[in-house]
Structure 1
Amino acid sequence: MKENYKNIKVSVVIPVFNRQKFLGEAVESVLAQDLTEIEIIIVNDGSTDQSAVVAKEYQAKDRRVIYMEQENQGVSVARNKGMAMAKGEYLYFLDSDDILGQGFLSSSYAMATEKKFDLLVCGAYFLDRFPQVMALQTCALFMKKSFLDLHPDVQFLKGIQPGEDGVFSHELLALTDKIGINLNTTYFYREHEGQNTSQIKKQTDKVLQVIPIWLKELEEFYERYNLWDKKALHLARFIEHEPFEFRYMAMPFQQEQKQHLFQTIRDFMDSKVLPRLTDRDRNVLSAAFIGFLQARSAEEFDAWYQARKLKNRAKVKALYLVSKLLPSRKWKKSFRAKMKKKYD
């Protein structure tokens, strides 16, 4: 296709590093969208394979494909450069080894423009968190470009992985109430081989290094936009979701590492967030996170949490037996799901 659109509806930014095997499928999934007034910005982050060759082939075939390259500086820098170049009304980031389902862009654009949303959350997976969404993967965020331009300081933090997308999305979500959700989108993730033991160890070490940087950035952001009182709960739920649930609770830290992370989170919450929360705000937080904030050490919290899990399993088992008395299979299923969520 050789058409040159004057009005670009959506800019799709694809950062790429050594993904020659998958980049073509990612680009094809965008070119195959029924929304055609688009541009695709491929930012090559110093790939050493044939990713540049693949990208340039698409650039030669379709004017909507724009290619640029940089020395290897990481995905955050690549995304920021693509964001700065984008000329579309809306912006979307696609990972170079993933695929968009048909109608993704058209349905998102139609909903965002009709409702005048600054941000659109893409995917039914996030429905249970909506509208109190505190952070998102980059692929779940469809963004109005003029809204981004109003806040040029909100960018991906350089060299901060994991979590650079969580901090970026959290800040954008804190800056607007014009947020919608599009349940009619399909995004295909490509599974990769699992990490070995040495890689997991490096990941836990890295997390301990980057979380203080996340917190410093968030502190400065909340100061800059004077959001402490207005959005304290939003920040508390981010700390609960990202450093606590996704890191402390889910990763295989050694006890010394857990205590270090425990103290990092507690110090930030105690000094910056908890004094600004109302009693009503605190009731929104999970029982596990409240227990974490009340514990004196990681060891004390872990012991309390394990005891709580055993107690709750007994409750769930008892309630499961009670649910057998319900007359409808649908009621039974709903009741069991609610009890599992409450006590799991």
Structure 2
Amino acid sequence: MSGELSPGQSEHHSAIGISVIIPIYNMGKFLSQAIDSVLRQSFRNFEILLIDDGSNDDSASICLGYVSSDPRITYYYQNNSGVSAARNVGLSRAGGKYVYFLDSDDSLDKNFLQTSFDAAENQNSDILIVGPYHSKRLSGLAAVPTCAQFLKREFLEKHPDIRFPENIQPCEDGLFSHQLLALTSAVGTNPDGIYFYRQHESQNHRIINSNTEGVMKQVPAWIAILRNFYRHYDLLGTHALHLILFMEHEPFGLRYLSMDLTDQQKSQLHQIIKSYVAELMPYIGEDQKKLISRPFLHFVSIEDSSDFQVYYERYVKKEKMKMRLYFFLIKCIPLKRLRKDMRKAMREKFER
């Protein structure tokens, strides 16, 4: 992959605590805020790798300005090859004990790196799930976005074949994290890590998800990656449920339910998901099926997806009625502390 190092590039050494990798493509408007949020961290033993994926705005000049002012910052330019390629280049050059990927239009709370480093060390984690939202979903977690992944570099180096799949987007972060989660039980959490996610119209995932036909063409490629991974590591016998939960989360939850698909696209996606999950079901027991949501089990059992929307709307309505009833009953409990704990448990139950 072509590219050139900035004049400020320095040798890596094992004393670096965290490598923060920032892939960049035409984000000059927000880039300084992202970099500054790292420079303001209470944790100081880090390096920043700025990976410019062929930007044609002022991103390069902004990066070089930071490189000249702080020896912990390095810059790499590559011809436009996509965010996966940019992250992989950063990972290949990282020297920290841990690796974290920050999007160039987002930013971090000042204690993000410190709390994550401490949690990873205390829990001896290969993968640390960061943030309150994802941390409370650790049980049955099948994939997480890059913003929630704090990774031990030694663990990544043991599996050099597991990298962000290039020419895949969306779902490149889901596939990457799903495979890593299948390869270790050393998974910890840091609910205190606060990530500031910026919403704006030029966000890459918004542009990609609006191209429904493009996403539909990618789904078979996702399954091909998963097939190869599970075959290579011989994991179906032990991790079939993990894979089914991924199918529920990504192609079903984030694409079928959330994207504005045509009826034809819904029918096509239903058949793809149903067919692959049918291959996986013989590998799980009846007790494991209880961990799969009722809507998804119904979805993969029906022949025609045309009636699913009616089923799903009824299901959501019924669950909302249950939640209102539970909260009403909780109000009748005299002990304030118990009411608070039960409300929290109910919210978590219905948010799953």
Deviation at 1:333, TM superposition (A): 6.0
Return the match for 1:106 from 107, 111, 114.
Answer: 114
Confirm whether residue 257 of structure 1 aligns to residue 251 of structure 2.
Answer: no
3-state DSSP of counterpart to 1:46: coil
3-state DSSP of counterpart to 2:300: helix
CA distance in structure 1 between the aligned counterparts of 2:127 and 2:327, rounded to whole angstroms = 40
8 A contact 2:209–2:215 mirrored in 1? no
8 A contact 1:5–1:37 mirrored in 2? no
Report the AA paired with residue 291 of structure 2.
Answer: V
- Specify the alignment match of 1:289 in structure 2: 296
CA distance in structure 2 between the aligned counterparts of 1:81 and 1:199, rounded to whole angstroms = 24
Structure 1 residues 66, 173: closer, same or farther in 2, change over 3 A? same
Confirm whether residue 30 of structure 1 aligns to residue 38 of structure 2.
Answer: yes
- Specify the alignment match of 1:77 in structure 2: 85
- Specify the alignment match of 2:251 in structure 1: 243
Structure 1 residues 207, 330: closer, same or farther in 2, change over 3 A? farther
Deviation at 1:339, TM superposition (A): 5.9
- Specify the alignment match of 1:58 in structure 2: 66
- Gaps in structure 2 of 5+ consecutive residues: 1-9
Report the AA paired with residue 314 of structure 2.
Answer: A
- Specify the alignment match of 1:161 in structure 2: 169
8 A contact 2:12–2:94 mirrored in 1? no
8 A contact 1:315–1:343 mirrored in 2? no
CA distance in structure 1 between the aligned counterparts of 2:209 and 2:40, rounded to whole angstroms = 41
- Specify the alignment match of 1:209 in structure 2: 217
Using structure 1 for the length normalisation, give the TM-score. Answer: 0.91
3-state DSSP of counterpart to 2:227: helix
8 A contact 2:19–2:46 mirrored in 1? yes
Confirm whether residue 220 of structure 1 aligns to residue 228 of structure 2.
Answer: yes
CA distance in structure 2 between the aligned counterparts of 1:317 and 1:40, rounded to whole angstroms = 47
- Specify the alignment match of 2:145 in structure 1: 137
Deviation at 1:33, TM superposition (A): 1.5
Confirm whether residue 92 of structure 1 aligns to residue 73 of structure 2.
Answer: no
Confirm whether residue 301 of structure 1 aligns to residue 328 of structure 2.
Answer: no
Deviation at 1:193, TM superposition (A): 2.7
RMSD: 2.6
- Specify the alignment match of 1:17 in structure 2: 25
CA distance in structure 1 between the aligned counterparts of 2:218 and 2:311, rounded to whole angstroms = 27
8 A contact 1:89–1:145 mirrored in 2? yes
Worse-matched range after superposition: 79-88 or 328-337: 328-337
CA distance in structure 2 between the aligned counterparts of 1:22 and 1:304, rounded to whole angstroms = 43
3-state DSSP of counterpart to 2:42: coil
Structure 1 residues 39, 194: closer, same or farther in 2, change over 3 A? closer
8 A contact 1:4–1:63 mirrored in 2? no
CA distance in structure 1 between the aligned counterparts of 2:75 and 2:270, rounded to whole angstroms = 44
Deviations 1:260-304 (A, max 9, x none): 010010011012x11111111101111111111221111132232
Deviation at 1:61, TM superposition (A): 0.9
Report the AA paired with residue 302 of structure 1.
Answer: Q
Deviation at 1:49, TM superposition (A): 0.4
CA distance in structure 1 between the aligned counterparts of 2:183 and 2:24, rounded to whole angstroms = 29
Worse-matched range after superposition: 61-70 or 106-115: 106-115
Confirm whether residue 274 of structure 1 aligns to residue 318 of structure 2.
Answer: no
8 A contact 1:14–1:95 mirrored in 2? yes
8 A contact 2:31–2:104 mirrored in 1? yes
Structure 1 residues 342, 81: closer, same or farther in 2, change over 3 A? closer
Report the AA paired with residue 232 of structure 1.
Answer: A
Deviation at 1:116, TM superposition (A): 1.8
Deviation at 1:317, TM superposition (A): 5.2
Deviation at 1:111, TM superposition (A): 2.1
3-state DSSP of counterpart to 2:136: helix
Structure 1 residues 236, 60: closer, same or farther in 2, change over 3 A? same
3-state DSSP of counterpart to 1:284: coil
Structure 1 residues 180, 20: closer, same or farther in 2, change over 3 A? same
Using structure 2 for the length normalisation, give the TM-score. Answer: 0.89
Deviation at 1:38, TM superposition (A): 1.4
CA distance in structure 1 between the aligned counterparts of 2:18 and 2:349, rounded to whole angstroms = 40
8 A contact 1:16–1:44 mirrored in 2? yes
Deviations 1:193-246 (A, max 9, x none): 389xx9688432222111111111011001111110111111111111111111
8 A contact 2:274–2:301 mirrored in 1? no
- Gaps in structure 1 of 5+ consecutive residues: none
